[in-house]
Amino acid sequence: ARWQIGLLYRPLNSQLPLPLPVNQDMVELQKQDHWERMQEEYSTLDLFPEGHIMASLRPRLGKNLATSRDIANMKHGGIITIAGLVIRRQRPLGKVVYITLEDEFGHIPLMVFPQVYAENELKLRSPFLAVKGTLSRREGTCNIIVRQARAFSALEKAPASRDWG
pLDDT tens digits, one per residue of 6-18? 555 666 667 777 8
CA distance 130 to 140: 25
* Cβ atoms 89, 97 nearer than 8 A: yes
**Which whole number is the average pLDDT over 97-110?**
94
**Residue 60: Cβ within 10 Å count:** 8
Predicted confidence band of residue 4 (pLDDT cuts 50, 70, 90): low
136-157 residues labelled b (16+ CB within 10 A) or e (exposed)? eeeeeeebbbbbebebeebbee
pLDDT at 120 over 60: yes
Task: Give the up-direction half-sphere exposure of residue 56: CA atoms within 13 A in the CB hemisphere.
Answer: 15
| pTM of the complete model | 0.73
User: Looking at residue 66, what DSSP letter applies?
Assistant: B
Report the pLDDT value the prediction gives residue 160, as an integer from 0 to 100.
61
pLDDT at 24 over 60: yes
Predicted confidence band of residue 40 (pLDDT cuts 50, 70, 90): confident
CA distance 117 to 159: 22
Higher local confidence (pLDDT), 94 or 126? 126
